[in-house]
Amino acid sequence: MRQAPETGTRIGEGVINSLTGLRVKSLRYQSGPGPVGNSVTDFEMLMFSNAKPLIVAATTAILAVVLFGGLPGAAKAEIKKPAGDVVLVITGKISETNAGAETHFDREMLTSLGMETLKTTTPFEEGVQTFEGPRVDALLKSVGATGELLVATALDGYTVEIPMQDVVDYPVLLAMVWNGETMGVRNKGPLWIIYPIDQYHELARERFSARSIWQLNRIDIR
């Protein structure tokens, strides 16, 4: 846990102290990676006796700016545009875009998020399979996702809902390579959501299998 001093020496605390009359006592950060970066799980404030609800609301807004880098409705940042064919489109509650209100990814952009290897069985194939690709939480962090639900759609229009909590709790993979071969449409590509079933046995349930969508090409954050 990272402890914030009561004197308000950090920039965010100084802003809060000077504008609101509130002194931040402590900030506790999430210890592991999450879809939108480190998030606040707990904070305490010492209020002056004349603090009013409007001040508290202002403080919450300032905390959002300091800790998350933005506010709902804030102008969206532009990120790199794809140079190759677009294989994934992200829409919805995102703060970084490169195609209007959407974020488009080609394979190179997805690879740059960091490739990981996952060896696991799946309900759809026999034996242990080897998958490579970025983690879904890294993808969501890259676009500044803030929702609670991922609505994933395949090339044929098939849609599934994936709770954001899934990618917070587990290292869910966005598979691009399967058993050493780049995935195309004929072998469940361009992308396949893979849960680490062998590493987390509680994932060997039908509801998680139903969320393992292949031929994925669109995610809407809600």
- 102 membership: H or E segment, kind and range: none
Assigned domain for 5 exists? no
Burial class (CB in 10 A: 0-12, 13-18, 19+), 69: middle
pLDDT of residue 147: 94
pLDDT of residue 181: 97
* Tally of domains within the chain: 2
Q: Are 81 and 64 in the same domain?
A: no
Q: Are 89 and 165 in the same domain?
A: yes
Local confidence band at 107 (pLDDT 50, 70, 90 cut-offs): very high
Q: Which two tokens stand for residue 35?
A: 């879809």
Q: Are 86 and 187 in the same domain?
A: yes
Domain that holds residue 96: 77-221
Q: Distance (Å, rounded) from C-alpha 150 to C-alpha 68? A: 20
What is the mean pLDDT of the segment spanning 123-131? 96
Helix 11-20 × helix 53-68 angle, to 10°: 170
Confirm if 131 and 205 have CB atoms less than 8 A apart: no
Q: At 36, which amino acid appears?
A: V
Q: Are 100 and 144 in the same domain?
A: yes
Query: What's the chain's average pLDDT?
Result: 77
User: Is the model's pTM score more than 0.85?
Assistant: no
- 169 membership: H or E segment, kind and range: helix 164-169
Give percent above pLDDT 90 in the chain. 64
Q: Are 87 and 173 in the same domain?
A: yes
Q: Which two tokens stand for residue 192?
A: 């396949």
Distance of CA 29 to the CA centre of its chain: 16
Instruction: Inform me whether the pLDDT recorded for 71 exceeds 50.
Output: no
Burial class (CB in 10 A: 0-12, 13-18, 19+), 42: exposed
Assigned domain for 95 exists? yes
- Choose one of 19, 41, 68: the last residue of a domain: 68
Assigned domain for 1 exists? no
pLDDT of residue 79: 87
Q: Are 134 and 158 in the same domain?
A: yes
Assigned domain for 3 exists? no
pLDDT of residue 78: 66
Q: Are 96 and 201 in the same domain?
A: yes
Q: Distance (Å, rounded) from C-alpha 53 to C-alpha 57? A: 6
What is the mean pLDDT of the segment spanning 22-50? 40
pLDDT of residue 77: 52
What residues have CB less than 8 Å from 207, skipping those under 6 apart?
Answer: none
Q: Are 135 and 191 in the same domain?
A: yes
Kind of pairing, strands 159-163 and 149-154?
antiparallel
Q: Are 100 and 181 in the same domain?
A: yes
- Choose one of 68, 91, 108: the last residue of a domain: 68
DSSP state of 84: S
Q: Are 170 and 200 in the same domain?
A: yes
Local confidence band at 152 (pLDDT 50, 70, 90 cut-offs): very high
Instruction: Inform me whether the pLDDT recorded for 30 exceeds 80.
Output: no
Q: Which residue has the higher pLDDT, 126 or 16?
A: 126
Instruction: Inform me whether the pLDDT recorded for 131 exceeds 70.
Output: yes
Q: Distance (Å, rounded) from C-alpha 74 to C-alpha 195? A: 33
